[in-house]
Structure 1
Amino acid sequence: MKILLIGASGTIGSVVLEEMKKDAEIITAGIENSDITVDTTSPESIKQMYEQVGTVDAIVNTAGIEHYGFLKEMTPEQNQIAVQSKLSGQVNLVLLGMDALSDNGSFTLTTGILMDDPIVKGASAAMANGGVRAFVKSAAIEMPRGLRINHVSPTILEVSVEKNGHLFEGFEPVSSRRIGLAYRKSILGAQTGEGIYVY
C-alpha cells in the first residue's frame, strides 16, 4: 500500500506517520521536512505534487492553518487564512487528486472538535471544519471508481496541552494512540462520507 501523507511533520501528521509506517510505503508532503514540497493554499502547487507522486492508494491530509482570535476583532483577511488553508486547501486536494488515487483508494481529511463544541477565539476554525465536513458527506456520493472519502475530527491531543491547552479549558485531551487509530480506520476501513470523531 502506498500513502501520500500531507502535513506529516505536524503534530497530527507525525502521529499518522507513526501509526501507518509499518503497513505502508508513505510519501510525505508539506511546506518543509518532507519528501515533496507542497503549499496546499496553491492549486498549482497541489498539481505539481500530484505529478511528482504518481498513483497512490490513499491520500491523507493533516495540514491546515487557522486563525484564532476574538470575533469582534477578526478581519476578513484573518478569516481567509482558514478558508484558504483548512477549507479550500483540503477541497482542492480532492478536486485535483482523484486521478492520483488507484481504484477503491481513499481520501482522509482533517476537521476538528470546534465545529461541534465551540471555544472563544475559535469561530474561524469552526467555520472551516464545518465546511470540510459538509463537503466530505456530499462528495462521497459522487466519487468515481469506488473511491472513498472521510474526515477525522480530533479534539486537543495530550501532547498539545502545554502549547494550546489555555484555549481548550475543560476539554479532555486524547492520546496520540486514539488519533492514530482514527486515521487507520479511515485509511483501511470501508466507510465513506463519514466523520471519525475523537472527542
Structure 2
Amino acid sequence: MKILLIGASGTIGAAVETALKPEHTVISANFSGGDVQVDLGNTESINAMFNSVGKVDAVISTAGLASFAALNELTEADYQLALQNKLMGQINLIRIGQQFVNTGGSVTLTSGVLSREPMHGSSVISMANGALESFVKAAALELDTLRVNVVAPIFVKETMAMMGMDTTSGLSAADTANAYVAAVTGDMSGKTLDAPGFV
C-alpha cells in the first residue's frame, strides 16, 4: 500500500513508519523535514500536501498540537490551538483527504486515553480527543468509499522516560504502533482503537 504518514518524525510516528515500511510504501509528512511538509492548523497546507502526494491507499495522522495546563491557566489561544490543530487539523485529513484515498482505503487519526481517563491539566486535550472519537464514529456512517478510525494511545514509555517519569504504566512506541497497523490493514471503521489492546 501507499501510505501517507503525518507526524512521522514524532516518537509514535517513527515507530509506525518502522512497522509499516517492510511491506508498504510510506510517505512521511512533517511540519518540517520528511518527504512533504504540512501544517495541520492550515487548510491550504493540507490541500497542498495532498495535491503533492496524489492518490494513496491510507492516511495516518500521529500529529496534533494541544496544551497541557491547569484549567484556570488555559487561555483562549490554548483552546484555539487544540481546536484548529489537533481537532480540525485531523478532521480536515478526512474532509479533504477523502478524494485522495483510493476506494477501500482508510484514514486513521490519533486521539488519546485522556478522552476517557482525564487528569489534572488535561481538559483541552481531553476535549479534542473526545471530539475526534465522536466524529469518527459518526463520519463512518456516511463514508462509503473509505474506512475511518482513531487510535487512542496511552502515555508512551519513551516520552515518559524523557520527562523523568516512572515508565511502568506506559506503553512503548513500538507496541503502540501495532494499533495503527491494525487500523490500516483491518476492516473496521468508526472505531476507537485503544493501543494497549493491540499488544
Q: Same fold (TM over 0.5)?
A: yes
Match of 2:102 in 1: 102
Looking at structure 2, the residues matched to 19 and 117 of structure 1 have their Cα atoms a distance apart, in angstroms, of 27
Point out where structure 2 has 5 or more consecutive residues left out of the alignment.
none
Residue type of the partner of 1:178?
A: D
Deviation >3 Å, runs of 4+ = 163-166
Matched, 1:2 2:2: yes
- Asked if the contact 1:156–1:171 (Cα under 8 Å) also holds between the matched residues in 2, the reply is no
Could you say what secondary structure the match of 2:140 adopts?
Answer: helix
Alignment coverage as a number of residue pairs: 196
Could you say what secondary structure the match of 1:39 adopts?
Answer: coil
Looking at structure 1, the residues matched to 117 and 163 of structure 2 have their Cα atoms a distance apart, in angstroms, of 16
Match of 2:175 in 1: 178
CA RMSD of aligned residues (A): 1.4
Residue type of the partner of 2:7?
A: G
Match of 2:79 in 1: 79
TM-score (norm 2): 0.94
Could you say what secondary structure the match of 1:105 adopts?
Answer: strand
Q: Give the C-alpha shift of residue 144 in structure 1.
A: 2.7
Match of 2:153 in 1: 154
Could you say what secondary structure the match of 2:80 adopts?
Answer: helix
| CA deviation map 1:14-48 (0-9, x unaligned) | 01001101111011111112100110111100001
- Asked if the contact 1:7–1:29 (Cα under 8 Å) also holds between the matched residues in 2, the reply is yes
| CA deviation map 1:75-108 (0-9, x unaligned) | 1111211111110100111100001100100000
Looking at structure 2, the residues matched to 117 and 164 of structure 1 have their Cα atoms a distance apart, in angstroms, of 20
Looking at structure 2, the residues matched to 160 and 131 of structure 1 have their Cα atoms a distance apart, in angstroms, of 24
Point out where structure 1 has 5 or more consecutive residues left out of the alignment.
none
Percent identical among aligned pairs is: 38
Could you say what secondary structure the match of 1:141 adopts?
Answer: coil
Residue type of the partner of 1:180?
A: A
TM-score (norm 1): 0.94
Q: Give the C-alpha shift of residue 116 in structure 1.
A: 1.0
Looking at structure 2, the residues matched to 110 and 161 of structure 1 have their Cα atoms a distance apart, in angstroms, of 18
- Given candidates 186, 189, 197, the residue that maps to 2:194 is 197
Query: Which residues of 2 match residues 26-65 of structure 1 at below 5 A?
Result: 26-65=26-65
